Amino acid sequence: MKKLVSLILIVLLTLMLVVGCGAPKADAPAADAPAADEADAPAEATFPDVEYRQVGSNANVKIVEQLPEEELRFVFLGFQNNPFWNLVQEGVIAATDYLSNFNVTVDNVLLGETLDAKTVNAGIEAAIAQGYDGIVVTPFAPGTETYIDKAVDAGIPVVTLYGESDKPSKRFLFSGQDTYAAGVTAGEMAAAEIDAGSEYAIITGQFVVVPHENRSQGFQEAMDAAGMVNVGVYEAMDSADKTYGYAKDIITANPNIKVIYMTAGGPFGAAKAVEEMGRTGDIIVMGYDEVAENLEYVRAGQMTVIGQNPAGVSFDGFMYLYNKVVAGQDPESDFVPAYSPIITKDTVDELFPE
């Protein structure tokens, strides 16, 4: 009897296994369901529709409509020693905000007040060590090109802004003003307003800064070619207070002076000195940058300024960097000149409405 029961149980178990093997699996996909690898594939990211507002005083560069494959980290290496840098920061902050929509983080690093190679090189070396995907830097002094090359050799594209060493580097783009040409333009403008043999003086920013020296050279050559007399070149370290003091000393020592030309930051200091000494309209004051302090004296007819679109240049520098890193896209030229309007009492309100 026991053998009979055991035999029946074995037969029933066998039948259950056969039926189970023949039934469809509960988790089998339906005939029209996608394959497993298709179902698990991530959806393609949609390029964000973000409002593109103008930054600076000229049209900006557009980024490619392509997202990075992974999060990117860019860094800005700049300075802060006069109001020019406030405009630069406007562009950097706008670029930081804009690129955050496209999986890019921008670190904003200010290196101090002295625009020397040692400071810039330390900043670049730190950026290399931290493994940034791109660098935007303002390397005004000779000797920085070696560290720029070091970054590029490490696989980090570099954009230089406003001024760079007079020796070539491996950066893929420089954006800024042709400073020598800007100096020549200023010299020709000034010479056209005064008599041959008139005296002029130059107040530069820093002798070690290539763009300042280029502007000074261009201006001197244009003025000397017109028969003007240079009474001195002074270094004011981008300081409006030092520029003010030098201008007062120059006017006192050279009562026949007709032109005071500034190559860099704080030129409104000279306009203030001319105003206080009662020489408005008698002495031509020329400088650079569309900062609010300069424009105030331009509107009063005490100063002429050549702009260089600082906010737009810094913003666009990051757009060019994004295009290079994300899409391998190079600009048409490795030099993109800054928009450089000549700002006078007659043009200031049109160019920069209050």
Q: What is the pLDDT of residues 133-160, one digit of tens each?
A: 999 999 999 999 999 999 999 999 999 9
Which residues face 161 on adjacent strands?
Answer: 175
* pTM listed for this prediction: 0.86
pLDDT digit string (tens) for 272-291?
999 999 999 999 999 999 99
Closest CA to 175 of 58, 326, 82: 58
* Direct distance between the N- and C-terminal alpha carbons of the chain, in angstroms, rounded to an integer: 110
Distant-in-sequence, close-in-space partners of 169: CB < 8 Å, separation ≥ 6: 144, 145, 148, 149, 152, 158, 160
Q: What domains lie within the chain, and their CATH numbers? A: 72-177+310-338 (3.40.50.2300), 179-306 (3.40.50.2300)
Going by pLDDT thresholds of 50, 70 and 90, the confidence category of residue 38 is very low
User: What are the tens digits of pLDDT across the range 215-270?
Assistant: 999 999 999 999 999 999 999 999 999 999 999 999 999 999 999 999 999 999 99
Amino acid 337 reads P
Task: Please spell the DSSP secondary structure of 206-249, one letter per residue.
Answer: -TT-HHHHHHHHHHHHHHHHTT-EEEEEEE-TT-HHHHHHHHHH
The overall average pLDDT reported for the chain is 89
